[in-house]
Amino acid sequence: MLPLCSLPKKASSFLHSLSLSLSAMEETQIASILKSSELYPIPQSVKLSYGTAGFRADASLLESTVYRVGILSSLRSLKLKSSTVGLMITASHNKVSDNGVKVSDPSGGMLSQEWEPFADQIANASSPRELVSLIKDFVEKEEIVIGEKGGGEVWLGRDTRPSGERLLRAAEIGVRSVLGSVAVDVGVLTTPQLHWMVRAKNKGLNATESDYFENLVTSFKCLIDLIPINKLEISTLVLDGANGVGGQKMEVLRGYLSNLDVEIRNTGRDGGVLNEGVGADFVQKEKVVPLGFGSEDVGMRCASFDGDADRLVYFYIPSESCGDKVELLDGDKILSLFALFIKEQLNIIGDEGKQCRLGVVQTAYANGASTDYVKEMGLEVVFAKTGVKHLHERAEEFDVGIYFEANGHGTILFSESFLSWLVGKQKDYSEGSDKHNAVSRLVAVSNLINQAVGDALSGLLLVEVILQHMGWSVQKWNELYKDLPSRQVKVEVPDRTAVVTTSEETEALKPLGIQDAINAEIKKYQHGRAFIRPSGTEDVVRVYAEASTQEDADSLANSVAQLVKSFLGSS
């Protein structure tokens, strides 16, 4: 441990001036944090907030933040009895000059929302003294014991960004500044790989990257083997890897899969820039082909990952006359395909399968046509606040909960009790029977899909095996329903907090009267739907509108935007 004499005189004086309970935090612990935090002074005029995406900013501003999140991760591990916690360095679909950091809880899910205020506080602490005081108070409040029964364990992953290695070193120093804590560098990974590995480790399972690949391959092959022979159809998939880590990991995975013909473009090995004119976020928002795709791909089944491979969208170019425009199959279409397949298996099982509570979780941004389609299947649909952490929480309420945002981030959750029931039924039903095969498919899906977090690699494999099972082309899949035209706009306002919505964000509670005015506008349009919500990051109010034609959707969005201005004013 660092001796007190190694500290600067001011820091040493500060240390002795603190009134400390040594059972909560020993002097050597405070000395360690004071010393290491001097290496990473906080940039001036930078204020960061921890959200669904963790902290994100220009990479040059993040060393102090990542260092401090390293400390938080160690404390989180200690709080949870030295369970392994994950720390991922990525900015997902952001430009390559950005980076970010987020924490995976031992469950493989996102950092508990109860800890987000503490994350904000320590990230923005203006000095080592303030940082130590915040940590001391938090440790005492949470009753975290440091240094008595070993330390925390934090697994560190990063994507392919050039700044990642430097930031990972800052994270290591942060983790190790908490007495006894261990930082394990698990290398360059997709974000979902790290979440999966953390979850597996804490469940006592094999948890290396090789185990992740083996799990995907075994489950995929099981589902392939259960496809009726007369439905089997294999055609080439063309994948846009966003010039990021996902394309490179797919190259590894492809080597194990004989039943998947995939051509991978934009791997980042040919000079392409991460997320620049490529990737799921670009394709989903712009509805145009990514770089490296063109007229030679007309009619081909194509897919895009985002930079850290936690988002997935599909697309195809309908004809050369469409130029660079694509037919997009977004998260809503993926959700619908998954729901259809799982419902089919439950129907095969019969009355017992129908007792399973299968539900779908969407946000208000989900296209209304997708919601109608799922409801027509007889499934329960609930809405959650924007942000996958909110959808994940609602999905846990079901025996099988499927959630996706339109941006392509989502997954399927299976309750432990339902999985146990399925495993038991595998023994009850005669092998090779329709019911046995249906149960086996559901078990394989539970293993293939990444239940920790949205995962483009596992999601892609599940889409591909379902299309083969159905004998469907991407065009046939796209015919499940036709998206309603929509429009999103944002309105700059003096104070976005003046807008208060329901928890599902589908209706505005404040300002008083605005929802009645919005409803009056909606009634003017066939299949009209609109809502407003305050931005989480800037002083704007976001408006979403749908209608039967694009012209009507545009008109409704503009009308609602004018209502926002009249009720709140504009800045």
Query: Could you give the residue numbers annotated as active site?
Result: 92
CA angle in degrees (0–180, nearest 5) for 118-119-123: 115
CB 487 within 8 A of CB 545: yes
Residues 6+ apart with CB under 8 A from 178: 29, 32, 33, 71, 74, 75, 78, 146, 151, 152
DSSP state letter for 109: S
The residues, ordered by sequence, that sit 6+ positions from 203 with a Cβ below 8 Å of its Cβ are none
User: Quick check: helix, strand or coil at residue 267?
Assistant: coil
What the block records as the tokens of 121 is 């506080």
Task: Yes or no: say if 35 and 138 are a contact pair by the CB < 8 Å rule.
Answer: no
Cα–Cα distance measured from residue 285 to residue 416, given in angstroms and rounded to the nearest whole number: 36
**Distances 197 to 335, 348, 418, 447 between C-alpha atoms, Å:** 24, 33, 23, 13
- Binding site for Mg(2+): which residues? 92, 306, 308, 310
Instruction: Tell me the C-alpha to C-alpha distance, in Å, between residue 312 and each of 26, 100, 239, 329.
Output: 47, 20, 10, 10
Q: Return d(Cα 485, Cα 274) in angstroms, integer.
A: 30
Residue 288 DSSP label: B
Measured between alpha carbons, how far is 30 from 130 in angstroms, rounded to an integer?
12
Closest by Cα among 295, 334, 340 to 316: 295
Q: In what side-by-side order are the strands of the sheet with 327-329?
A: 262-265, 237-240, 301-305, 312-316, 327-329
Check: CB of residue 374 under 8 Å from CB of residue 339.
Answer: yes
For the annotated binding site, the residues are 92, 306, 308, 310, 405-407, 533-537, 542
Tell me the C-alpha distance between 504 and 498, whole Å: 17
Sheet of 358-362, strand order: 380-383, 358-362, 400-404, 410-414
Instruction: State which amino acid sits at residue 74.
Output: S
- 529: helix, coil or strand? strand
Q: Pull the structure tokens for residue 269.
A: 């090995």
**CA nearest neighbour of 226 among 322, 344, 122:** 344
Contact between 525 and 556 (Cβ < 8 Å): yes
Q: Which residues are annotated as a binding site for substrate?
A: 405-407, 533-537, 542
Angular region, 243: left φ>0, alpha ψ -120 to 50, beta rest: left
The residue type of 405 is E
